[in-house]
Amino acid sequence: MRHLLSVADLDAAEATALLDTSDRLREALLGREVRKLPTLRGRTVITMFYENSTRTRVSFEIAGKWMSADTVNVSASGSSVSKGESLRDTALTLSSMGADCVVVRHPASGSAHRLAHWVDTAGSTGGPRIGTDRAVTGTPTAIVNAGDGTHEHPTQALLDAATLRDRLGGIAGRRIGIVGDVLHSRVARSNVLLLATLGAEVVLVAPPTLLPTGVESWPCRVSHELDAELPALDAIMMLRVQSERMHGGFFPSAREYAVRFGLSEDRARLLPDHAVVLHPGPMIRGMEIAPAVADAPNAAVLAQVRNGVHVRMAVLYHLLAGAPE
């Protein structure tokens, strides 16, 4: 694996290998007083976040630190990005300082792919080489997509898969519902692709206004009736309504959205007993999920966060040290 840009680049064996590495790293850290493995000593991981984040940025930083990498965080507001520097120039600068891996979150769909393209091809036209010509380590910079616009968020899908594997014992043949603002959700797209690759049956439940064009070609089924789907689900993933990406009315009111597509306590009772409730966070309690449902024993929201650290450790490990035999 050279970069991690899209879950579409992972086949079932590669995705399973990442999940297995994540499990192994979790076991390796279990009960340790000092949570530090020497695995990535001397490697530098830079997180470059052009959008707000709590979970993703912090868990990449912890993941790097627990494997002894040097981690540096750059945020758009505190860097030269706020002076008008381009994504390419910022990335070139960080790469020249010796970044082995740049983890990027950016509001533009496709930005992580652009970055990877620059890293892989820059220099071929006589310009500066990003990553491939560095005196520091001599190894090219790996790019990880930590969310590009409404496109993809591969490590979120991997940590969701890790959580579903833990809770359900496996993913193949399970029916997973993904509910809410699919149109603006990179989490939904990455999850549909990865869960389908791992053999799950996925159903998207959303109002027609919150579904992207072309959804018919996604490897899933689409429904507009949440109550009808609930009794047959093994897991349900609630999506945040991404109001920061909405310019215009996608539904009549927040209250009407919550009534039709929110996971209320009454609605949660329609799920089978074994069903797992997921949410990538940040949750808007009372909008897409009722507080009591988010805190119930079958909710895995904090387990997702915990798995996020181990999955990101696995991703950094596979990128920087190579997949284990």
Give 245-248's long-range contacts (Cβ < 8 A, gap of 24+).
245/150, 245/184, 246/184
The rounded distance, in Å, linking the Cα atoms of 5 and 48 is: 15
Residue 245 tokens, joined? 């990406």
Using DSSP's 3-state secondary structure scheme, residue 306 falls into helix
126 is in an annotated binding site: no
Is there binding between residue 306 and ligand NCD (CB under 6 A)?
no
Q: Which of 165, 175, 186, 318 binds ligand NCD (CB under 6 A)?
A: 186
Nearer to ligand NCD, 122 or 164 (CB): 164
Q: What residues numbered 202-231 form the site for ligand NCD, per CB under 6 A?
A: none
Residue 280 CA from chain centroid, whole number: 8
Q: What residues numbered 132-161 form the site for ligand NCD, per CB under 6 A?
A: 147, 153, 156
The rounded distance, in Å, linking the Cα atoms of 276 and 152 is: 23
Are 233 and 201 in contact by the 8 Å Cβ rule? The answer is no
281 is in an annotated binding site: yes
The 10 Å Cβ neighbour count of residue 75 is 17
Instruction: Please identify the residue of the shown chain whose CB is closest to the bound ligand NCD.
Output: 240
83 is in an annotated binding site: yes
Closest approach of ligand NCD to the CB of residue 92, in Å: 25
Nearer to ligand NCD, 55 or 88 (CB): 55
Q: Which of 161, 187, 276, 300 binds ligand NCD (CB under 6 A)?
A: 187
Closest to 114 measured CA to CA, from 123, 124, 104, 129 = 104
Is there binding between residue 162 and ligand NCD (CB under 6 A)?
no
Q: Which of 55, 65, 113, 167 binds ligand NCD (CB under 6 A)?
A: 55
Using DSSP's 3-state secondary structure scheme, residue 213 falls into coil
Is there binding between residue 312 and ligand NCD (CB under 6 A)?
no
Closest approach of ligand NCD to the CB of residue 191, in Å: 11
156 is in an annotated binding site: yes
Is there binding between residue 57 and ligand NCD (CB under 6 A)?
no
Output the DSSP codes for 238-282: E----GGG--S-SSS-HHHHHHHHSB-HHHHTTS-TT-EEE--S-
Nearer to ligand NCD, 240 or 310 (CB): 240
The rounded distance, in Å, linking the Cα atoms of 130 and 88 is: 9
- How many residues bind ligand NCD (CB under 6 A)? The answer is 11
240 is in an annotated binding site: yes
Is there binding between residue 129 and ligand NCD (CB under 6 A)?
no
Residues forming contacts to ligand NCD in the complex (CB under 6 A) are 55-56, 147, 153, 156, 186-187, 240, 242, 280-281
**Feature table: binding site for L-aspartate:** 83, 186, 240
